[in-house]
Amino acid sequence: SQVLKTWVGQCPASGHCPTKDEEYGNLPPARRVERDMNRTEIHAVMAQQDGVITRTQALRCGMSSTSVSRTVATGEWVTLVPGVYLRSDRERTAGVELRAAVYGAGAEAVAWGPSAAWWHGLLDHPPARHYVTVPHHRIRSCTRSTRVRRRDLHWKDTVVVRSLPVTALPLT
């Protein structure tokens, strides 16, 4: 796979950029190289998720927290909810909004009810409000556009459809 290196700072005036051996030497943090940031993998994740990526996914692909912040600051990505981003060249569709609601609710969150029914293809139109289930111990409040239900679900009650966790059909 294609691995790109991005710079947190600038190369010195001499034009010498640190090699992999030098990257964790005596260089100041502003001159360190990000390790193995895989743009191809990042774009593949976003392509599977309607142009959406979470901060955690970006970090797993090798981006640093600084790079994520810089990508948002330059306008390449737009923040949907804290920790969930959309490529700026992608449309903010109902599917993108549902992904933001579920991904933004954290690990183990799933779409349920009308949201899951729509995602499964049982409804022709998306619901006006998103329905998200989070584990019982998680404190997450409802918003104008999202109804949050706190409930522990058995793994057999959830499935992943088009890279989005949703309740399985019998529970939907």
What would the pLDDT profile of 22-62 be if each residue is shown by its tens digit? 333 444 444 344 445 688 999 999 999 999 999 999 999 99
Put the strands of the sheet holding 52-54 in their side by side order. Answer: 52-54, 84-87, 77-81
| Nearest Cα residue to 72 out of 62, 85, 61 | 85
- In this predicted model, which residue has the larger pLDDT, 4 or 114? 114
What confidence score (pLDDT) does residue 138 get?
Answer: 82
Which 3 state secondary structure label does DSSP give 165? strand
In this predicted structure, what is the pLDDT of residue 141?
67
Q: Does residue 18 have a pLDDT over 50?
A: no
pLDDT digits (tens, 9 = 90+) for 131-155: 999 999 987 666 778 999 999 999 9
Measured CA to CA, the distance from residue 7 to residue 170 in angstroms comes to 49
Give the helix ranges, DSSP H, for 61-93. 65-73
Exposed/middle/buried for 107, CB within 10 Å: 0-12, 13-18, 19+?
A: exposed
For 52-102, how does the pLDDT look when each residue is reduced to its tens digit (9 = 90+)? 999 999 999 999 999 999 999 999 999 999 999 999 999 999 999 999 999
- pLDDT score for 139: 76
The torsion angle over the Cα atoms of residues 87, 92, 97 and 102, rounded to 10 degrees, is -10
